[in-house]
Amino acid sequence: MGAYIAITPIVSKIFCGSTHAVLMVRRRPPAVNGGGFVVTDQEQRIVFSVDGCGIIGASGQLIVRDGDGNAILFIHKKEGVVQALSVNNWWRGYLTDYGEPSKLVFSLQDPKPVLCMKGDVRVIIEPNGKKRQWDYEVTGSYVQRSCAIKSRAGHVVAQIGVKGMMASKDFYQVVVQPGYDQAFVVSIIAILDNMHGESTRC
Protein backbone atom coordinates (compact mmCIF):
# COMPACT_ATOMS: atom_id res chain seq x y z
CA MET A 1 0.00 0.00 0.00
CA GLY A 2 1.35 3.43 -0.94
CA ALA A 3 1.27 6.45 1.31
CA TYR A 4 -1.99 8.37 1.42
CA ILE A 5 -1.86 11.56 -0.65
CA ALA A 6 -4.07 14.38 0.58
CA ILE A 7 -5.82 16.04 -2.36
CA THR A 8 -6.09 19.83 -2.11
CA PRO A 9 -8.37 21.03 -4.93
CA ILE A 10 -8.78 24.78 -5.41
CA VAL A 11 -9.77 24.96 -9.06
CA SER A 12 -10.74 21.27 -9.41
CA LYS A 13 -9.63 17.86 -8.16
CA ILE A 14 -9.06 16.81 -11.79
CA PHE A 15 -5.93 19.00 -11.72
CA CYS A 16 -4.56 17.28 -8.59
CA GLY A 17 -2.17 14.40 -9.33
CA SER A 18 -1.20 11.51 -7.07
CA THR A 19 2.49 11.95 -7.99
CA HIS A 20 4.62 15.06 -8.40
CA ALA A 21 4.21 16.78 -11.76
CA VAL A 22 7.10 18.25 -13.74
CA LEU A 23 5.75 21.02 -15.95
CA MET A 24 7.57 23.22 -18.46
CA VAL A 25 6.51 26.81 -19.02
CA ARG A 26 7.33 28.33 -22.41
CA ARG A 27 6.80 31.99 -23.21
CA ARG A 28 4.94 32.74 -26.44
CA PRO A 29 6.47 35.53 -28.54
CA PRO A 30 4.24 38.65 -28.50
CA ALA A 31 3.75 38.35 -32.27
CA VAL A 32 2.44 34.78 -31.92
CA ASN A 33 -1.07 34.42 -30.50
CA GLY A 34 -0.76 37.68 -28.60
CA GLY A 35 1.89 36.53 -26.14
CA GLY A 36 1.20 34.74 -22.85
CA PHE A 37 2.64 31.28 -22.21
CA VAL A 38 1.98 27.57 -22.58
CA VAL A 39 2.56 24.81 -20.04
CA THR A 40 3.54 21.30 -21.15
CA ASP A 41 4.07 18.00 -19.35
CA GLN A 42 7.08 15.69 -19.69
CA GLU A 43 5.61 14.24 -22.90
CA GLN A 44 5.49 17.79 -24.34
CA ARG A 45 1.68 17.79 -24.34
CA ILE A 46 0.05 21.15 -23.66
CA VAL A 47 -1.74 20.91 -20.31
CA PHE A 48 -2.42 24.63 -19.70
CA SER A 49 -2.09 27.94 -21.49
CA VAL A 50 -2.40 31.51 -20.28
CA ASP A 51 -3.70 34.44 -22.32
CA GLY A 52 -2.71 37.96 -21.36
CA CYS A 53 -3.79 41.36 -22.63
CA GLY A 54 -2.30 40.70 -26.09
CA ILE A 55 -5.22 38.34 -26.68
CA ILE A 56 -7.85 39.65 -24.27
CA GLY A 57 -7.22 43.28 -25.15
CA ALA A 58 -7.44 44.46 -21.53
CA SER A 59 -4.59 45.02 -19.08
CA GLY A 60 -4.77 43.44 -15.65
CA GLN A 61 -6.80 40.50 -16.95
CA LEU A 62 -5.69 36.91 -17.57
CA ILE A 63 -7.36 33.71 -18.73
CA VAL A 64 -6.05 30.26 -17.78
CA ARG A 65 -7.06 27.46 -20.16
CA ASP A 66 -6.81 23.69 -19.90
CA GLY A 67 -5.06 21.50 -22.47
CA ASP A 68 -8.14 21.49 -24.70
CA GLY A 69 -8.26 25.28 -24.79
CA ASN A 70 -11.25 25.62 -22.46
CA ALA A 71 -11.20 28.66 -20.17
CA ILE A 72 -11.04 27.44 -16.56
CA LEU A 73 -10.02 30.57 -14.67
CA PHE A 74 -10.52 34.30 -15.17
CA ILE A 75 -8.09 36.49 -13.23
CA HIS A 76 -8.23 40.24 -12.87
CA LYS A 77 -6.43 42.94 -10.97
CA LYS A 78 -8.68 45.03 -8.77
CA GLU A 79 -8.84 48.70 -9.81
CA GLY A 80 -10.51 51.86 -8.56
CA VAL A 81 -9.92 54.66 -6.04
CA VAL A 82 -9.96 52.38 -2.98
CA GLN A 83 -7.44 50.09 -4.65
CA ALA A 84 -5.23 53.06 -5.61
CA LEU A 85 -5.09 54.15 -1.96
CA SER A 86 -4.39 50.63 -0.67
CA VAL A 87 -0.87 49.49 0.26
CA ASN A 88 -1.56 46.25 -1.63
CA ASN A 89 -2.49 45.33 -5.17
CA TRP A 90 -5.25 42.73 -5.14
CA TRP A 91 -5.91 40.07 -7.77
CA ARG A 92 -9.00 37.85 -7.92
CA GLY A 93 -9.27 34.40 -9.50
CA TYR A 94 -12.69 33.17 -10.65
CA LEU A 95 -13.87 29.87 -12.04
CA THR A 96 -15.46 30.33 -15.45
CA ASP A 97 -18.90 29.16 -16.50
CA TYR A 98 -19.59 29.22 -20.26
CA GLY A 99 -16.61 31.51 -20.66
CA GLU A 100 -17.80 34.03 -18.03
CA PRO A 101 -16.42 34.60 -14.50
CA SER A 102 -18.58 32.84 -11.92
CA LYS A 103 -17.26 31.71 -8.53
CA LEU A 104 -14.43 33.51 -6.70
CA VAL A 105 -11.84 30.91 -5.64
CA PHE A 106 -8.81 32.90 -4.51
CA SER A 107 -7.45 36.38 -3.85
CA LEU A 108 -3.79 37.31 -4.20
CA GLN A 109 -2.19 40.16 -2.29
CA ASP A 110 0.78 41.88 -3.93
CA PRO A 111 2.21 44.53 -1.58
CA LYS A 112 3.15 47.77 -3.31
CA PRO A 113 6.71 48.97 -2.73
CA VAL A 114 6.62 51.26 0.31
CA LEU A 115 9.78 53.04 1.44
CA CYS A 116 11.76 50.70 -0.84
CA MET A 117 10.54 47.68 1.11
CA LYS A 118 8.67 44.80 -0.54
CA GLY A 119 6.38 42.42 1.33
CA ASP A 120 5.51 38.83 0.53
CA VAL A 121 3.01 37.80 -2.14
CA ARG A 122 0.25 35.94 -0.31
CA VAL A 123 -2.87 34.08 -1.40
CA ILE A 124 -6.21 33.69 0.38
CA ILE A 125 -8.50 30.83 -0.62
CA GLU A 126 -12.10 31.99 -0.99
CA PRO A 127 -14.66 32.05 0.43
CA ASN A 128 -12.78 32.72 3.65
CA GLY A 129 -15.65 33.95 5.81
CA LYS A 130 -14.32 36.11 8.64
CA LYS A 131 -10.87 34.54 8.44
CA ARG A 132 -8.45 37.11 6.99
CA GLN A 133 -5.31 34.99 7.26
CA TRP A 134 -3.40 33.96 4.14
CA ASP A 135 -3.23 30.34 3.00
CA TYR A 136 -0.26 30.33 0.61
CA GLU A 137 2.74 32.55 -0.04
CA VAL A 138 5.42 32.97 -2.70
CA THR A 139 9.02 32.99 -1.49
CA GLY A 140 12.17 33.72 -3.48
CA SER A 141 12.52 35.55 -6.79
CA TYR A 142 10.22 34.88 -9.73
CA VAL A 143 12.29 37.25 -11.90
CA GLN A 144 15.31 34.97 -11.38
CA ARG A 145 13.10 31.87 -11.78
CA SER A 146 14.07 30.74 -8.31
CA CYS A 147 11.00 30.72 -6.09
CA ALA A 148 8.47 28.49 -4.38
CA ILE A 149 4.79 28.49 -3.51
CA LYS A 150 4.34 27.36 0.09
CA SER A 151 1.37 26.63 2.31
CA ARG A 152 0.83 28.49 5.57
CA ALA A 153 2.16 25.39 7.35
CA GLY A 154 5.43 25.76 5.41
CA HIS A 155 4.91 22.85 3.00
CA VAL A 156 6.27 23.38 -0.50
CA VAL A 157 3.42 23.25 -3.01
CA ALA A 158 5.46 24.01 -6.11
CA GLN A 159 9.04 24.94 -6.97
CA ILE A 160 9.89 27.18 -9.93
CA GLY A 161 13.38 26.95 -11.38
CA VAL A 162 15.58 27.06 -14.49
CA LYS A 163 16.93 23.57 -15.23
CA GLY A 164 18.30 21.81 -18.30
CA MET A 165 20.42 22.83 -21.29
CA MET A 166 17.54 24.59 -23.07
CA ALA A 167 16.22 26.33 -19.96
CA SER A 168 16.02 30.10 -19.69
CA LYS A 169 13.72 32.75 -18.25
CA ASP A 170 11.47 32.09 -21.27
CA PHE A 171 11.51 28.31 -20.81
CA TYR A 172 11.56 27.03 -17.24
CA GLN A 173 10.45 24.20 -15.00
CA VAL A 174 7.74 23.99 -12.35
CA VAL A 175 7.55 20.98 -10.04
CA VAL A 176 4.16 20.58 -8.34
CA GLN A 177 4.01 18.27 -5.34
CA PRO A 178 1.49 15.38 -5.18
CA GLY A 179 -2.08 16.30 -4.25
CA TYR A 180 -1.81 19.99 -5.05
CA ASP A 181 -3.86 21.77 -7.71
CA GLN A 182 -1.73 22.31 -10.83
CA ALA A 183 -4.21 24.80 -12.34
CA PHE A 184 -3.97 26.90 -9.17
CA VAL A 185 -0.17 26.85 -9.37
CA VAL A 186 -0.28 27.95 -13.03
CA SER A 187 -2.65 30.79 -12.12
CA ILE A 188 -0.23 32.07 -9.47
CA ILE A 189 2.61 31.94 -12.02
CA ALA A 190 0.40 33.87 -14.48
CA ILE A 191 -0.08 36.67 -11.94
CA LEU A 192 3.63 36.75 -11.07
CA ASP A 193 4.41 36.96 -14.79
CA ASN A 194 2.06 39.91 -15.22
CA MET A 195 3.21 41.66 -12.06
CA HIS A 196 6.78 41.69 -13.39
CA GLY A 197 5.82 42.93 -16.85
CA GLU A 198 6.63 39.73 -18.71
CA SER A 199 4.83 37.63 -21.35
CA THR A 200 1.21 38.33 -20.30
CA ARG A 201 1.65 42.11 -20.10
CA CYS A 202 1.18 44.35 -23.15
CATH at 66: 2.40.160.200
Q: Structurally, how many domains does the chain consist of? A: 1
- What pLDDT is attached to residue 168? 85
Least confident window among 37-51, 59-73, 127-141, 188-202:
127-141
- What pLDDT is attached to residue 98? 82
Report the pLDDT averaged over residues 75-90: 74
Q: Which residue range is the domain that position 87 belongs to? A: 13-195
Report the share of the chain in percent with pLDDT over 90.
68
178: in domain: yes
Residue 3 has pLDDT above 70, yes or no: no
- What pLDDT is attached to residue 115? 44
6: in domain: no
Report the share of the chain in percent with pLDDT over 70.
88
Where does the pLDDT of residue 118 fall: very low under 50, low under 70, confident under 90, or very high at 90 and above? low
Residue 67 has pLDDT above 80, yes or no: yes
CA distance 143 to 160: 11
Residue 63 has pLDDT above 70, yes or no: yes
3-state secondary structure the chain: CCCCCCCECCCCHHHECCCCEEEEEEECCCCCCCCCEEEECCCCCEEEEEECHHHHCCCCEEEEEECCCCEEEEEEECCCHHHHHCCEEEEEEEEEECCEEEEEEEEEEEECCECCECCCEEEEECCCCCCCCCCEEEEEECCCCEEEEEECCCCEEEEEECCCCCCECCEEEEEECCCEEHHHHHHHHHHHHHHCCCCCCC
Specify the pTM: 0.92
pLDDT digits (tens, 9 = 90+) for 129-180: 777 789 999 999 999 999 999 999 999 999 999 877 677 889 999 999 999 9
3: in domain: no
202: in domain: no
- What pLDDT is attached to residue 1? 46
- What pLDDT is attached to residue 80? 64
154: in domain: yes
Residue 86 has pLDDT above 60, yes or no: yes
82: in domain: yes
Average pLDDT of the chain is 89
- What pLDDT is attached to residue 57? 82
- What pLDDT is attached to residue 14? 97
164: in domain: yes
Report the pLDDT averaged over residues 116-140: 84
127: in domain: yes
